[in-house]
Structure 1
Amino acid sequence: MKKFLSLLLILILFLTACSTTISDQIRYDVPSHKVQHNYQSRDYKSKDNAAVSVKGIQVYFPRAGQDPAPVLANLIKQSHSSCDVAIYSLTNPDIVKALVEAHKRGVNVRVITDRKEAENKVQKHAVNVLLMAGIPIKVNTHPGLMHLKMTVIDGKTATTGSYNYTRAASKENDEMFVVITDPNFVEACQTEFDRMWTDNENFAAVR
C-alpha cells in the first residue's frame, strides 16, 4: 500500500504541474452582472461513481462521467470541525456555496488561492462571496503560482489531483480528482497547509 501511495502521489504531482491556466477558466452563460445568482445552486446527493475505489483512496475522472464537484461538495457538507482549501482556481458555485454553509455551521473554513487567479472577474466574485460570509482567505505573495488543488477536511480526509474547482474542470477538461483517507497522507497535507497559512512572508490575507 505504501508503494502504491508513493506512485500515486508522484502521478498527482505530475498532473498538477501540467495543468494550464487557460483550461481552468469557467464559462458562464449569463451576463457578468448576474453571476451572483449562480451561487443559489442545487443540492447534490451522494453518489459514489469513482473510477477506482480501494482502501483509503477514491479516484475520479470528470470526462469519464465522474464529476468531482458533487463529491467535494458533499465532503465539505459532512465536515464537522475544519475545512482547509488550497486551490489555484475556485469558481464552481456549488463548492463555494458548500464552503459558506460549512462556515455558517461553525466549521473552521480557511482558503488559500493564487494571487493572479483571484484577480479575474469570476474568481474575484467567488472570493468576495466567501469574504462576505466571514471566511478568511490568503493569496501568495511570492513570485510563483499557488498551484495546489488540495482540501483537508477534519484532519481525516484529503483531496488532491489536477482538478481545479471550476465548471470547466468538471465538464471540459481531462482531470483527476483523488480522495484519500490514509492518515499519513492526510497529516502531510494538513502540515503543509498550516505551514503556508502561517507563512506571513509568502502569503497575505485578502481584505
Structure 2
Amino acid sequence: MLPQILIISISSVSILIIYMIKKKYKKTLNQFTEDGKFYHQLISVDMKNFNCKPHLFEDNLCNKWCSLSYKKTLQKFISSANLSICLCVYMLTLQSLNYELLMAHKRGVIIRVITDKGMIQTKPVKAHLKKLKENGIPYKMQLSQQSMMHHKFCLIDKENKELAKMFFGSLNLTSQGLHSNFDNIILTNNLNIIERFSEEFEELWNLF
C-alpha cells in the first residue's frame, strides 16, 4: 500500500511541476494580458534582441520578439491617437516615431513634447526636435541642466476614458534602446495609471 501511495505522490508532484513550467512558459509567450476592462502589454529588450540592429533598418522581422516588431508596436500605438499625444522622454531619435508624430499633427492631433535640456544639445536629438518645431509641434525642457528630465512615458488621448492609453518604462525612443540595452516598456489603458502620469505631465508642462 505504501509503495502505491508513494508512486501516486511522485506522479502528482511531477504533473504539478510540468503544469507550472508550462504555465510559466505560456506567460512568457503571452506578453498581452487583460485584467477586466484594462489591459497591459510588456515589452522587454534583452539579449534576444542584441542581434536585431540590422532588422530595424532592413525591415526584416526575425521573430515575434524582434526589435523591429517592438518598433512597429510603438509606431502603431502612436499612430492610433485621435485627440492628443503627450510625450515625455529623455531621448528621441527614432525617425519612424518622429514621422508618426508629424502625421498625427497633420490630422489634427494635439501634440506636446517634454524632453531633456542636455540631450537637446546632441546632434541626432536636436535634428529630430527641430523637425517637430518646424511643423508646429511644441516642446519644452527642464529649466536647468543641474538635473535631468529622465522620464520615459507617452499618453495617448488621455482626455477620453474610452480611448485613453499610454506606455511607460525605462526604454529611450532610440534604436540603441531597442537592440543594445536591457530595457522595458509597458503599454496599458489602465485609467488610474494614466491619471497619475497625466498629472505629472501637466505639472511639468506648466513648470517649464
Q: State TM-score, norm by structure 2.
A: 0.70
Is the Cα contact below 8 Å between 1:82 and 1:109 reproduced in 2? yes
2:186 aligned with 1:191, yes or no?
no
User: How many percent identity over aligned positions?
Assistant: 28
Is the Cα contact below 8 Å between 1:51 and 1:60 reproduced in 2? no
Structure 1 residues 7-22: aligned runs within 5 Å:
none
Give how far 1:153 is off.
0.2
Aligned to 2:152: 149
2:158 aligned with 1:158, yes or no?
no
What is the root-mean-square deviation in Å for CA atoms of aligned residues? 1.6
Aligned to 1:76: 78
Q: Deviations over 1:112-143 (max 9, x none)?
A: 00000011001000110111111000011132
Aligned to 2:55: none
1:109 to 104, 107, 111: 111
Structure 1 residues 55-74: aligned runs within 5 Å:
55=34, 56-63=39-46, 64=48, 65-67=65-67, 68-74=70-76
Q: Deviations over 1:2-28 (max 9, x none)?
A: xxxxxxxxxxxxxxxxxxxxxxxxxxx
Kindly name which structure, 1 or 2, has the bigger radius of gyration based on alpha carbons: 2
Q: State TM-score, norm by structure 1.
A: 0.70
How far apart are the structure 1 equivalents of 2:30 and 2:122?
Answer: 33
Give how far 1:52 is off.
2.3
Change (3 A) 1:106 1:176: same
Name the structure with the higher helix share.
2
Could you list the runs of 5+ residues in structure 1 that have no partner in the other structure? 1-48
SS at match of 2:98: helix
How far apart are the structure 1 equivalents of 2:114 and 2:199?
Answer: 14
Instruction: Kindly provide the amino acid, as one letter, of the partner of residue 88 in structure 1.
Output: Y
Aligned to 1:54: 33
Change (3 A) 1:75 1:189: same
Aligned length: 152
Give how far 1:177 is off.
1.0
1:91 to 87, 90, 93: 93
How far apart are the structure 1 equivalents of 2:115 and 2:87?
Answer: 8
Aligned to 1:140: 142
How far apart are the structure 1 equivalents of 2:192 and 2:90?
Answer: 24
Is the Cα contact below 8 Å between 1:82 and 1:107 reproduced in 2? yes
Give how far 1:69 is off.
2.1
